[in-house]
Structure 1
Amino acid sequence: MAITNIRPNMEHWQARVDLAAAFRWTARLNMHEGVANHFSLAINEDGTRFLMNPNQRHFARINASDLIEVDANDPDALTGADAPDPTAWGLHGGIHRACPHARCVMHVHSIFATVLASLADSRLPPIDQNCATFFDRYVIDDGYGGLAFEDEGARCAALLTDPKQKVMIMGNHGVLVIGDTVADTFNRLYYFERAAETYIRALQTSQPLRVLSDEIAEKTAQELEAYPEQDVRHLQELKAILDGEGDPYAT
C-alpha cells in the first residue's frame, strides 16, 4: 500500500520523499558507507538552501521527515541539535554555494567508483553503452587533501564549473554526482557505478579492451541524454517497490 504524502503540509514534501527513496535504494544497492556520505537537494533559486540527511543516520533508516534544511551562508549552521556533519557542510555547502547549477548533489564511496578513483589513471574509457554515457562528462580530482572540511569542499567545488561535467571522480576518495533533480542525479549515480563495474571487471580479464571511437561515444552520450524520462521512470519504479513493501521512507 502506498504511504506517500503522510505529512503533505511539511515544506518541500515531494522533494523530501524523492530524496528519502534515493537514500533507501542506495543502501539496498550497498553503495552506502554506513552512517557516512551525504545527498543534498537545493530548495531555493541560488541553491544555497538545501535539504540533506541528518548527521550520522544510516541511509537505510532515512525518512522524508528526517531531512534537515541547511543554509550554506549561515555561519551558525554547525551549531545546534540538527547541525549537519562537518564534512557534509564542507563538501555540499561549498558546492551549493559556488555551483548553482548543481541542484542535487550525491556523494558516495561505492565500491567500483572508488576502485576507479584509486587507480593512477582514473579515466573511464567508453567500452560499452553505460561507459559511453559519461564520455567527456566527468572531471577527475587528483588533489585529494583529506576529509572534506570547508577548505577541501571549496577546492572540490572549483572543479565543477563546467555544467556539462556532472560527475567528479574523486581521486583516493569516491565519486560525487550532480544533477537537476533527485531522479536525474540518482539515475546518473546508479549508471556511473554500473559503468565503473563493467570497466573494472574488464580490466580483471587482462584482455585488450574494445574502446568506442570518440565520435560514437559522444553520439551515444547525446542520445542517452535525450532519452525520454528514463530518470523519472526509474525513480518512480523504485518508489513503487518501496511503497508496495510498506517501507516508511515517505513518512
Structure 2
Amino acid sequence: MNAPTVTLDATATLRRDLADAFRICHMLGWSESVGNHFSAAVSADGQEFLLNAKWQHFATIKPDDLLLLDSRDEGIMDRPNAPDASAWCVHGTMHRRLPNARVILHAHSPYATALACLKDPTVVPIDNNTARFFGRTAYDLSFGGIADAEEEGERLAESIGDKSVLVMGNHGVTIVGETVADAFEDLYFFEKAAQTIILARSSGQPLAILSDAVAQNTADGWTPYRGMAQKHFDYLRSTLPPL
C-alpha cells in the first residue's frame, strides 16, 4: 500500500516553491537552454515527485506545468507526456532509492561545473562557504556522457549516499535537501564556494587549507543559520518578474 500523499495545500505550496526555484536559477544565470532538472517529493515515502516537463525553459515554468510522477511507474517513458530521459534516469532513480532526498536540484552552474572539471574537484575548506560543505560532499567521477540509462541513476544514488551534495565529475552538481529553500540555499552557497576555489587555485599560490577540526567547527556553525534559507529564497522570489 502506498504511503499517503501530503495535503493539497502543501502540494500547492511545493509546486509554487519549485516553480520559483527554476525561475530564480535562470535569473542568476544558472539555467542551460531547456535542460537541467529540479524535483521535489510529494508523497510521504518520497516515491511520488514533481519534475519539470521535457524541454521547458526554466524562465517559463509555472506551478501547474510541473509533472507529477511515480518513481515506480515502469511505463512512464512510453507516454506522450514523458519527461526528459536523463531527468527520469537521475531523479526517478534517486527518489526511488533515497526517500529522505525530498528535493533534488541538478544544475550546471558555471563555477560548480568548472570545479567538477578539475582532475581533483575536492571542495577544500578554505573559508566559511567552502567549509559549509565539509563532510557533506560526495563525488562521482565516472562520467560517461548524458545520463539516460537506469544504471547511471543507480550509480549516482549510490554515490551521494547520505550526503547532501554530489559533485558530478566533468558534469555539474546535484544538491538534495529537505525543502526547496534549503536545497536552493545550498546550491547558491556551493556556487560561491566553487567560485572561491577556482579563483584561489587560479592564483597559482598554495591554498591555506583549514584543519579538519576548524572546518568541522565552521560547518557546524552554519546550523543555527538554517533559517536564512527561507528568508533568502523569499527575497529572491520577490525580485522575479511576473509571468
TM-score (norm 1): 0.90
| CA 232–11 in structure 1, closer or farther in 2 if over 3 Å, else same | closer
Deviations 1:131-154 (A, max 9, x none): 010011101101122221222011
Deviating above 6 A after TM superposition, structure 1's stretches of 4 or more consecutive aligned residues are none
Per the alignment, residue 237 of structure 2 pairs with 239
Structure 1 residues 79-158: aligned runs within 5 Å: 79-149=78-148, 150-158=150-158
SS at match of 1:106: strand
Matched, 1:160 2:160: yes
Distance of 1:206 and 1:228 partners within structure 2: 34
Gaps of 5+ in 1: 1-8
Distance of 1:182 and 1:167 partners within structure 2: 14
Distance of 2:106 and 2:161 partners within structure 1: 17
SS at match of 1:78: helix
The Cα RMSD (Å) is 1.4
Which amino acid in the other structure matches residue 212 of structure 1?
L
Per the alignment, residue 78 of structure 1 pairs with 77
Distance of 2:77 and 2:36 partners within structure 1: 17
| 2:112–2:191 Cα contact (<8 Å) kept | yes
TM-score (norm 2): 0.93
Per the alignment, residue 58 of structure 1 pairs with 57
Distance of 1:11 and 1:67 partners within structure 2: 15
Per the alignment, residue 201 of structure 2 pairs with 203
Per the alignment, residue 3 of structure 1 pairs with none
| 1:179–1:185 Cα contact (<8 Å) kept | yes
| CA 43–32 in structure 1, closer or farther in 2 if over 3 Å, else same | same
**Displacement of 1:226 after TM fit?**
2.6
Per the alignment, residue 69 of structure 1 pairs with 68
Gaps of 5+ in 2: 1-7
| 1:99–1:160 Cα contact (<8 Å) kept | no
Q: Give the % identical residues.
A: 43
**Displacement of 1:202 after TM fit?**
0.9
Which amino acid in the other structure matches residue 88 of structure 1?
A
Which amino acid in the other structure matches residue 95 of structure 1?
M
SS at match of 2:209: coil
SS at match of 1:169: strand
SS at match of 1:186: helix
Distance of 1:66 and 1:107 partners within structure 2: 18
**Displacement of 1:10 after TM fit?**
8.1
| 1:146–1:152 Cα contact (<8 Å) kept | no
SS at match of 1:113: helix
| 2:164–2:176 Cα contact (<8 Å) kept | yes
**Displacement of 1:70 after TM fit?**
0.9
| 1:38–1:53 Cα contact (<8 Å) kept | yes
Q: Which has the higher contact order (CA 8 A, sep 6+)?
A: 1
| CA 54–10 in structure 1, closer or farther in 2 if over 3 Å, else same | farther
Distance of 1:116 and 1:11 partners within structure 2: 36
Matched, 1:26 2:25: yes
Deviations 1:165-206 (A, max 9, x none): 100000111100000010010000110011000110111111
Deviations 1:2-28 (A, max 9, x none): xxxxxxx78811111111111001001
Number of residues of Structure 1 aligned to a counterpart in Structure 2: 235
